[in-house]
């Protein structure tokens, strides 16, 4: 899909829906939300984890399952953060190309998450299964926000 978007980039970028202040305001709200999530996520998800060090660990030392902070509200804040940032870019730029990328982002990320969760179940076993039953993937439960 990204290759197809790149191939048709000139046509897609030629279609602009123009600047709209109301959409720019919504874009700012989504952008701020993504920055807030990034801040909360950054407290717990250190650089070594982001760069894949746990995947290189041996089976006897699977690392630690993150279940505190923002990870106690949603299981995949990094992907939520990216999605909110992309929504922000789409609303602010208001170009067809960015909307196409946005439409591709969500199903692709969902597939990535399914593969990642399979790996996490293999690595952490019952702990991850229990965690996934209690904490939603992307959208926090209303009672856990309040």
Q: What is the pLDDT of residue 60?
A: 55
pLDDT in tens, 44-84: 876 655 555 454 455 555 578 889 999 999 999 999 999 99
pLDDT in tens, 94-141: 988 889 889 999 999 999 999 999 999 998 999 999 999 999 999 998
Q: What is the pTM of this model?
A: 0.80
Q: What is the pLDDT of residue 143?
A: 66
Q: What is the pLDDT of residue 35?
A: 97
Across 28-46, average pLDDT? 91
CATH no. for 2-145: 1.20.120.1630
Bridge-partner residues for 95, per DSSP?
A: 16
Q: Tell me which of 135 and 16 has the higher pLDDT.
A: 135
Alpha helices, H only, the chain: 2-7, 9-13, 21-44, 47-50, 77-93, 96-124, 126-134, 142-145
Domain residues of the chain, as ranges? 2-145
Across 32-55, average pLDDT? 75
The secondary structure of 86-113 as a DSSP string is HHHHHHHH-BHHHHHHHHHHHHHHHHHH
Q: What is the pLDDT of residue 56?
A: 45
């Amino acid at each position: 899909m990204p290759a197809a978007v790149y191939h048709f980039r000139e046509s897609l970028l030629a279609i602009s829906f123009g600047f709209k202040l109301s959409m720019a305001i919504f874009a700012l709200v989504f952008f701020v939300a993504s920055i807030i999530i990034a801040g909360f996520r950054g407290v717990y998800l250190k650089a070594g984890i982001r760069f894949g060090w746990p995947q290189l660990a041996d089976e006897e030392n699977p690392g630690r399952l993150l279940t505190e902070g923002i990870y106690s509200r949603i299981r995949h804040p990094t992907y939520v953060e990216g999605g909110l940032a992309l929504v922000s870019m789409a609303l602010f730029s208001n170009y067809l190309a960015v909307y196409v990328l946005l439409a591709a982002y969500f199903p692709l990320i969902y597939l990535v998450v399914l593969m990642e969760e399979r790996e996490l179940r293999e690595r952490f076993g019952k702990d991850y299964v229990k965690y996934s039953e209690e904490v939603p993937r992307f959208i926090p439960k209303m009672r856990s926000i309040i």
